[in-house]
Amino acid sequence: MPRSPCALDASRGPRLHGRGGGIILRTLVSCAFVVVGFVARGDFAVTRALPPFDASAQPVEIANEIRFEPEPGAGVAPEPAFCESDRGEAARAPDAALSRYFAADPTEVRLSVSAIVRSRPGAREILLMRRSDNGHWGLPGGYLEPGESVTQATLREVREETGWSVDVGRLVGVYSDPSRQVIEYPDRRRVQAINLCFEALAREAGPVGTPGEVTGIGFYAVDALPEPFVPIHAIRIEDCFAGDAAARVR
């Protein structure tokens, strides 16, 4: 009975039979050398699972890109974990102008939003992003665009700056004090930001929409915030975790 071209010879182990056997074998050996060569040169990226959240741990660097890998389960935020790139100072020119807080003499007034995004209900780990214009860590947020509600603006800003889809919850506070809320930007505009800060819940991770504005993202414990930190954001976090649901007006 004729044997199949790839039949097994029980007495001698697996063999390749037929005229094509030598070609197939040589091809397999060549492919093996190619794979070994790629691995030796570092052409293959290895995906690693993130460690459990540890507020004292150093951030995990992931191939110099900003990314969160969602855990299985729709609508459920993953376990808090560091996941940040560390482009840092390389993200801007050494002589670039920086945004400056506690400025004076505002040239314009604008309405803005920010979000304190918990990793899960009741958690004390919140989502932060590091700004590319001055290297400070802070809350995701930004100015309203024409035609937006404050809820729509909050959803958009969080998604653009961190990649996360969130559920927007209660109003934490309204912040307008000109002694704190005037920001001078690199183009010399001095904006008095009237900020509405909302509590939110992380739901699903996605790609960062404005990577040029962000050099890192991560969930951090509220009692172990990274430095430097946006000074006008600290009071909003204090108000959020004050222990009651009353909205502050400052």
Per-residue tokens: 137 = 């860590």
Res. 191 pLDDT band, cuts 50 70 90: very high
Per-residue tokens: 195 = 């900020």
Predicted confidence (pLDDT) at residue 171 exceeds the cutoff of 50: yes
pLDDT digits (tens, 9 = 90+) for 117-128: 999 999 999 999
Alpha-carbon gap, residue 199 to 126, rounded angstroms: 10
Predicted confidence (pLDDT) at residue 148 exceeds the cutoff of 70: yes
Ramachandran assignment for 244, one of left (phi > 0), alpha (psi -120 to 50 degrees), beta (any other): beta
Phi, psi (5° rounding) for residue 156? -65, -50
Ramachandran assignment for 122, one of left (phi > 0), alpha (psi -120 to 50 degrees), beta (any other): left
Neighbours of 116 (CB within 10 A): 23
Res. 1 pLDDT band, cuts 50 70 90: very low
Nearest to 125, CA basis, from 53, 58, 216: 53
pLDDT digits (tens, 9 = 90+) for 66-77: 333 333 333 333
- In 3-state terms, what secondary structure has residue 240? helix
Average pLDDT for 147-173: 98
Q: Between these two residues, 203 and 78, which has the higher pLDDT value?
A: 203
For residue 84, what pLDDT is reported?
A: 45
Average pLDDT for 26-44: 38
pTM: 0.65
For the chain, how far is it from start to end, CA to CA, in angstroms?
Answer: 91
Mean pLDDT of the chain: 73
pLDDT digits (tens, 9 = 90+) for 196-238: 999 999 999 999 999 889 999 999 999 999 999 999 999 999 9
For residue 55, what pLDDT is reported?
A: 40
Predicted confidence (pLDDT) at residue 174 exceeds the cutoff of 90: yes
Per-residue tokens: 123 = 């958690």
Vertex 190, ends 213 and 230: CA angle to 5°?
50
Segment 120-125 long-range contacts (CB within 8 Å, at least 24 positions apart):
120/77, 120/80, 120/201, 120/202, 121/201, 123/80, 124/221, 124/222, 124/223, 124/241, 125/53, 125/55, 125/80, 125/219, 125/220, 125/221, 125/222
Q: Between these two residues, 196 and 8, which has the higher pLDDT value?
A: 196
